Structure 1
Amino acid sequence: MTGGLNGDTSDKNQTRYTYSPVHQEAAVCCVPMAGRIAPYYVQYMWLKGDRSLVASVLGPSRIETTVEGKPVVVDEQTNYPFENTFRFVVTADSRFALKIRKPDWVKKFTVSESYREADGFIVIDKTWKGTENVD
């Protein structure tokens, strides 16, 4: 079994690019990785930043966390990718930014709250009071 990126075999411990035509000595990259797609997708749906929550990957989800020590719950309600409408139900009593990734293919959209666009995200920075919907 030989392998390496672009034919480089100098690192004998490197197995990432190893190829085994009968799949006995090296893991087949695509098949074992297929089972990781959904967990990785879900794992990175929500990220926390400084005084912000980031919806980095779109899809139905719920996050219960704290932002600057205060409890925050966000339910993302959608049938994406089968429909292109989203509702974020935010329950919080604090100020933070909700950042929603805007896919590159989106050319026209509406948001029910005041927002700004920054670095490919729709940013709603406000003081949240109780339960509020963002459509």
Structure 2
Amino acid sequence: MSHRQAECPVARTVDVIGDRWSLLIIRDAFDGIRRFSELQRNLGLAKNILATRLRELVAQGILEIVPAADGSAYHEYALTDRGRELFAVIVALRKWGEAHLFDEDEPHSALLDVETGRPVELQVTNAAGQPISAGDTFVRKVAAAPA
């Protein structure tokens, strides 16, 4: 079932990037993995599934096909501006996983600030820059059309 016509932005977004392989491809793109063979090796994904997910991410404007950086005849997949805007989504998934899916002393990869070397934090704020949580928000639904 497609949610492409849903009134909810979350439902439409999940339609585009909600597949686990798509999210992991986007994560790898943020990590600088750009070639099909590198993505396949890193993800352990069947070629046909990877090709399908890459095709969809390109069609959605999240990735673009670019010439290989080394000047070879190969091509690479690069995040577009639209794709780079998913950074906060990937960070949010990472932070939730760190908090809930690892034992206290269990090692895991860490996302660090290039300048300080300290862990990256993610905070949701209102328009004035004040931190907020789910209890501080509400969803304004689209009004139903009169019968």
TM-score (normalised: structure 2): 0.22
TM-score (normalised: structure 1): 0.23
Q: Which has the larger radius of gyration?
A: 1
Higher strand fraction (1 or 2): 1
Higher helix fraction (1 or 2): 2
Q: Which has the higher contact order (CA 8 A, sep 6+)?
A: 1
